[in-house]
Chains A and B, each alone.
Chain A
Amino acid sequence: MSSKESCRNELRTAIRQLSDRCLYSASKWAAEQLVGIEQDPAKFTPSNTRFQRGSSSIRRRFRTNEINSTPPTGVAYVSTPVMEEDEAIHGDFYLLAKSYFDCREYRRVAHVLRDQTGKKSVFLRCYALYLAGEKRKEEETIELEGPLGKSDAVNRELVSVERELSTLSKNNMIDPFGLYLYGLVLKEKGNENLARKVLVESVNSYPWNWSAWSELQSLCTAVDILNSLNLSNHWMKEFFLASVYQELRMHNEALSKYENLQGTFTFSNYIQAQIGKTQYSLREFDQVEVIFEDLLRNDPYRVEDMDTYSNVLYTKEYFSALSYLAHRVIMTDKYRPESCCIIGNYYSLKGLHEKSVMYFRRALKLNKKYLSAWTLMGHEYVEMKNTPAAVDAYRRAVDINPRDYRAWYGLGQAYEMIGMPHYALHYFQKSVFFQPIDSRLWIAMAQCYESEQLHMLEEAIKCYKRAANCNDTEAIALHRLAELHRELGQPEEAAFYYKKDLERMEAEEREGPNTVEALTFLATHYKTQKRFEEAEVYCTRLLDYTGPERETAKSLLRGMRIAQSGFPSMDVEHFHP
């Protein structure tokens, strides 16, 4: 990795260039990373670093292994790019255009720059046109909204923007920013292969545009695709890889990348938030909580990624903390999709599902592609027993991101509720494909196979086995496995699983009807197997319970004694070698 100072210089230049081109998010991101780099304490007064120092002690708490400050990575970029600037005469037009852009008057931007041929002007013109089209699309969507905001509105500028950019790129007259926009347009038009190619070209020639990386990340839907990308080495690539790994659910790889990056960008809130999100996917809720609390202390008005925090609070049912967070984001910025999600979660936890749906809907009004809001809204609809609406919401979620296993699972559940096991099964399979370590999914799938319409017990058993191998917290799998085997007339296997289930219940010090059932079966089973000693052990344990089983146990014991005394010859034979 290149030195901190060179990173800093690169970022400083990049921020100027990005904001000059009105790529606001990318420049914000770059600035955050710039401040995230650990300052040289010798050079700065404490007041400069106070903001960063904040709570580094807490940060370190969860760092699994201390990282050497500069882990080796491939060849780094050294050269700071010198972007060619348009001539001064055109500069005046550019200044006017940029001011219009800042006031969000996109069409005027395009008009002012209509005859400009400099790369910078061409980019801003096309970008403004694209945004004008997007804006109009949003408006149209609201005007002609179908159920759940489904509409056929399209960005009408896409075609002309694409045509212009493709001609430019054919003639090699396009700069990395133009390429980024071209990639964006291609992606929107569904031409993903070309979009990937163009974006790779863009980030290879100008790696500091995080927006380009994010678009590229959203197009990397499988490891094979990632591996096929021909990316030059640069420290920005590490950020990208981490983000892709995170999205591809390769959580450990992602974590190690982020921790590496923290070597240089020690105080980057972005990295910390990403680590939090990854830990959330790993279901390490305690850690996530600490991370986000810390983050909020440093950056109290942060709204980004805070919905993950609220999810944790929701799962852990921390009413007061969630309420506090909700009130806080309302004061910061009420009309952000993240804020709405947090409030939605809050109402959901309070059992006010209608209100909660309202807020998720608002989140989606603000950002139609806000994945988690769709999924969470689906959950709320399920709670409200409004299956069709739930199905629709989940559909939208998987439409946006087909790797969202929660939405697939929700779809499966919804279809199971309306008695369509074939559909449900398909969706469970999907969800299990993306999250094979979650026992709930396997169990849901197994139950589907068990349903009357399908009745494929063999397959159900396979699923339960998988569930049992995962961490089955609710301990359904073992029990059902045993029962199924018993139903299929396979007493050996049934006994095996009953025994395992029993062991587990003992370990967790749990008792209930399942215990009785297991004991009864085992007792009977060993008796028919003529393994009386084991049978007796189970029978005696059964005697501790009340109810009809106790009588059964008694009669079993009696039977065994008669058998042992009545048929000694069996024992004799038994002692024969």
Chain B
Amino acid sequence: MREEEIEKLRGVIRDCVSKHLYSSAIFFADKVAAITKDPADIYMQAQALFLGRHFRRAFHLLNASQIVLRDLRFRYLAAKCLEELKEWDQCLLMLGDEKLDEHGNAYDIKDNSAMYLDKDGEDREINISSAIYFLRGKAYEALENRAKARQWYKAAIKADPLCYEALECLIENHMLTCEEETSLFSSLQFGPEDGWLSSFYSCLIKKNYKENVVEAKFKELGKESSKTNLSSQSFMRALKDNTDLLACKAEYYHQSGEYQKCFELTSGLLEKDPFHLKCIVVHLAAAMELGQSNELYLMASSLVKDHPQKALSWFAVGCYYYCIKKYDQSRRYFSKATSLDGTFAPAWIGFGNAYAVREEGDQAMSVYRTAARLFPGCHLPTLYIGMEYMRTHSFRLAEQFIMQAKAICPADPLVYNELGVVAYHKKEYNQAVWWFDKTLALIPNPLTEMWEPTVVNLAHAYRKLKMFHEAISFYEKALTLSTKSLSTYAGLAYTYHLQDNFSDAITYYHKALWLKPADPFCSEMLNVALADECRQGIDPKLDLR
């Protein structure tokens, strides 16, 4: 056959691939490869086989051709086949034995001057070694060697910042602590035209930054647009409303406890893109906090119908049951989600919480421990372990774990609140006040109802320090956030009582008892206060009239 006819056939093969007619592609590729014996055509044949899901055959073809060990692309494709076949050890073997030095840079022990045939070169290409590193990471993860997997993912994104998959794995699976994330980000080398990507990534890798930091980053993205020329300006504007970015924003809202805002945002996003997974997770979490059981039910049913094999779907079912307070069922479904996909962090946490809420501490702890092991970059399991210890009054252990959580994520106000509570229980009230102040400093203003307990805690601590005025002012602040809390009223009443202000004390004991008529502390203290007031005689205020 003539050269141009072959060239035409190659075109047909490419077109078959793009039209997803893999059998035809395989048929013609086989013929072309047979005629030319060109490595590039063999590669094309292997590619077609791979896409047609004939992994074993593709691997055999690559292995049979001698070029496989010399060309990186061949090797990579062979490894991909092994990945699909789930032969992880073989896969690693195929990828060769590069090592990482302590800075995370790869080097090869025996330099085998890899050949690299650039055939159908695009203008921009993902660095092939980045892809290899990423695949290596995946193999290690499948082999449950998380430390190595993490190293290789990091190497992959370092080798080429455009390798988003590696970054996604690192972030979504909570592999890095806050500090590690930032240092990794700063070590990335973006091309001159990729400025936007840099700011985009910086939005993705936030973990409980303060609001202004995140807001500033979003603004930065906006500003980026005004700097560059007109065409990219509209491009940037479009990016600003990109679902990925807004999903991050929603996640941030969720972390800072603004569930309503979060819910509204995700509802809008899901209208645009109903299957955006990350957004669905955040949406489910927000709906659960808001008690929107109806919404959860609908989402869970449709998810289970569409994706019965996804952990997310069963996680949604678990959320629904958790929301309607059927914790046993919810536990069952969370557990199902974790068994479908062990790397799905929300399900693990939900699983633990479903135990904890029924006060089954031991089981909860073991789940949290597993989660902490699986997700070293997620501070929540560690924090929850600390909380469980606190419930059993092991304050030293609790403190240890919470400090650990703080090391992972130093920006979450919840951590500081828990530290304050530990200090309070250890009767270190000054320390407690310090922690609670720090908590409140991290929360964006205005405070929402979610942070009312912190304010009350602070007031309790001030009361213990006999700083009654401060205590009262914080109790009152707490009352503006929620008027349904027994402990606020009881604390306020007791503070007034300690100040010998019996009349106000009695009023607030009453209010507390109105919320919970059988509260033993309040009813007993009310009797005491009434007797005290009586002993005091007629209120002198009355005589003035």
Contact = CB atoms under 8 A, between A and B. Distances in A.
Question: Interface on chain B toward A: helix, strand, loop, or mixed SS?
Answer: helix
B176 to A, nearest CB: 34
B121 interface: no
A462 B538 contact: yes
A429 B538 contact: yes
Contacts of A423: 530
B542 A190 contact: no
B480 A190 contact: yes
Interface string B8-21: 00000000000000
A558 B206 CA distance: 107
Interface in A181-219: 189-191, 194
B542 A432 contact: yes
Contact of A189 (B480, B503, B530): B480
A313 to B, nearest CB: 32
Contacts of B482: 190
Contact of A426 (B261, B514, B530, B545): B530
A432 B503 CA distance: 13
A293 B545 CA distance: 36
Contacts of A463: 538
Contacts of B260: 159-160, 163
A295 interface: no
A223 to B, nearest CB: 13
A423 B526 CA distance: 9
B324 interface: no
B32 interface: no
B541 A433 contact: yes
B545 A422 contact: no
A422 B480 CA distance: 31
B226 interface: no
Contacts of A491: none
A275 B371 CA distance: 71
A433 B539 contact: yes
A454 B541 contact: no
Contact of B534 (A160, A190, A436, A454): A454
B534 A422 contact: yes
Nearest to B482: A190
A454 B535 CA distance: 9
B256 to A, nearest CB: 14
Nearest to A432: B542
A152 B484 contact: yes
A190 B537 contact: no
A540 interface: no
B542 A422 contact: no
Interface size class of A (residues with CB under 8 A): 20 to 34
A249 B419 CA distance: 50
Contacts of A433: 539, 541-542
Interface in A162-184: 163, 166
Contact of A425 (B514, B534, B541): B534
Interface string B30-74: 000000000000000000000000000000000000000000000
Contacts of B530: 422-423, 425-426
Given A160-B260, A454-B534, A456-B534, A429 B539 contact: yes
Nearest to A170: B446
A534 interface: no
A152 B537 CA distance: 37
A436 B545 contact: yes
A395 B514 contact: yes
A506 interface: no
Nearest to A399: B514
Nearest to B479: A190
Contacts of A458: 537
Interface string B488-503: 0000000000000001
Contacts of A436: 542, 545
Interface size class of B (residues with CB under 8 A): 20 to 34
Contacts of B483: 189-190
Contacts of B479: 190
Nearest to B477: A191
Contacts of A191: 480
Contacts, number: 50
Contact of A166 (B446, B538, B545): B446
B533 A456 contact: no
Interface string A453-475: 01010110011000000000000
Contacts of B261: 163
A181 to B, nearest CB: 18
Nearest to A402: B507
A14 to B, nearest CB: 32
Residue with the highest number of chain A CB atoms closer than 10 Å, among B482, B503, B514, B542: B542
A266 to B, nearest CB: 36
A422 B532 CA distance: 9
B506 interface: yes
B531 interface: yes
A143 B500 CA distance: 42
B446 A422 contact: no
A426 B506 contact: yes
A323 B3 CA distance: 114
Nearest to B292: A156
B531 to A, nearest CB: 6
A423 to B, nearest CB: 6
Contacts of B534: 422, 425-426, 454, 456
Interface in A408-467: 422-423, 425-426, 429, 432-433, 436, 454, 456, 458-459, 462-463
B534 to A, nearest CB: 6
B366 interface: no
B447 to A, nearest CB: 11
Interface string A11-40: 000000000000000000000000000000
B339 interface: no
A141 to B, nearest CB: 15
Contact of B537 (A160, A163, A189, A456): A456
Contacts of A160: 260
Contacts of B232: none
Contacts of A190: 479-480, 482-483
Nearest to A193: B480
A130 to B, nearest CB: 15
Nearest to A154: B484
B527 interface: yes
A191 B503 CA distance: 22
Contacts of A425: 530, 533-534
B302 to A, nearest CB: 23
A426 B508 CA distance: 13
Contacts of B514: 395, 399
Contacts of B542: 429, 432-433, 436
B90 to A, nearest CB: 56
Given A422-B527, A423-B530, A426-B506, A459 B538 contact: yes
A463 B538 CA distance: 8
Contacts of B533: 422, 425-426, 429
Interface string B311-332: 0000000000000000000000
A471 to B, nearest CB: 16
Contacts of B527: 422
B295 to A, nearest CB: 13
B120 to A, nearest CB: 48
Contacts of B545: 436
B475 to A, nearest CB: 12
Interface string B254-268: 000000110000000
A429 B531 CA distance: 13
Given A160-B260, A422-B534, A459-B538, 6 more contacts: A189-B483, A422-B533, A429-B542, A433-B541, A454-B534, A456-B534
24 contacts: A152-B484, A159-B449, A190-B480, A190-B482, A190-B483, A191-B480, A399-B514, A422-B534, A423-B530, A426-B530, A429-B503, A429-B533, A429-B538, A429-B539, A429-B542, A433-B539, A433-B541, A436-B545, A456-B537, A458-B537, A459-B537, A462-B537, A462-B538, A463-B538
Q: Please provide the 5 A-B residue pairs with the shortest distance between their CB atoms, ordered closest to farther.
A: A422-B530, A190-B483, A191-B480, A436-B545, A459-B537
